[in-house]
């Protein structure tokens, strides 16, 4: 009897401890519900962070193209165009592709140098004249071109001369703004503005 009592005493507390450590079905459901609420509340924050990251990356891509145009114009002693290409996405025109074109030695018949680069998903160059006056500042650069995956597209652009400047054709209104497509406020809540110095061709970035 004594041994039996000891055995029951030994197993009793351990069994009770296991019961206390286990989760009930109700407790599991509560935890799952809380996790679901936290995940739902986090989605907008993650989406906002992703858009901000893409806008920053788009601004860097555009700044790099302008810097490369300035460098190539000076190096080759020829004019280089930075073309801002409008593509159709779900039937909506969006300015979010870029390509450099260089004039031949006689200064005519420009040819593409490098590929067409498309800005990160969900971003665009603002078409609002207040936000991106440089987009249409040079009326001599406009036309249509074929872009793989998008077909026939229109474009505008700016031109760097051999001195690495905008050639004197543009003195003011020399900036572009990049923002998320869903951000339709003016000015957008989150954006990158690039100012191109008309004399030096250098880019200054402003971030919000």
Phi and psi torsions of 198, nearest 5°: -70, -20
Q: What is the β-pairing status of strands 80-89 and 151-160?
A: antiparallel
3-state SS class at 27: helix
Taking only the tens place, the pLDDT of each residue in 143-198 is 999 999 999 999 999 999 988 888 766 877 799 999 999 998 888 989 999 999 99
Q: Is residue 206 helix, strand or coil?
A: strand
8 phi and psi angles, rounded to 5 deg: -65, -35
Split at pLDDT 50, 70, 90, the class of 109 is confident
Query: pTM for the complete prediction?
Result: 0.77
pLDDT by residue (tens digit) across 77-108? 999 999 999 999 989 999 999 999 999 988 78
CB 182 within 8 A of CB 161: no
Chosen CATH of 13-207 out of 3.55.40.10, 3.40.50.460, 3.40.50.300, 1.20.1250.20: 3.55.40.10
| pLDDT recorded at residue 203 | 94
The sheet with strand 203-207 has its strands ordered as: 123-125, 175-180, 191-196, 203-207
Average pLDDT of the segment spanning 7-31: 61
């Amino acid at each position: 009897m004594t041994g039996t009592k000891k055995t029951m005493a030994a197993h009793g507390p351990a069994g009770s401890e296991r019961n206390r450590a286990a989760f009930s079905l109700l407790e599991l459901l509560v935890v799952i519900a809380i996790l679901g609420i936290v995940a739902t509340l986090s989605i907008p924050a993650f989406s906002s962070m992703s858009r901000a990251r893409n806008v920053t990356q788009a601004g860097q891509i555009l700044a790099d193209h302008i810097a490369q145009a300035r460098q190539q114009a000076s190096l080759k002693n020829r004019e280089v165009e930075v073309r801002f290409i409008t593509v159709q996405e779900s039937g909506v025109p969006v300015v979010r592709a870029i390509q450099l074109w260089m004039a031949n030695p006689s200064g005519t018949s420009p040819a593409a140098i490098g590929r067409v680069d498309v800005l990160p998903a969900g971003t665009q160059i603002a078409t609002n004249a207040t936000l991106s006056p440089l987009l249409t500042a040079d009326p001599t650069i406009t036309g249509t071109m074929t872009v793989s995956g998008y077909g026939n597209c229109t474009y505008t652009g700016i031109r760097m001369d051999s001195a690495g400047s905008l050639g004197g054709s543009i003195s003011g209104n020399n900036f572009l703004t990049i923002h998320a497509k869903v951000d339709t406020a003016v000015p957008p809540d989150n954006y990158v503005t690039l100012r191109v110095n008309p004399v030096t061709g250098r880019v200054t970035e402003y971030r919000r």
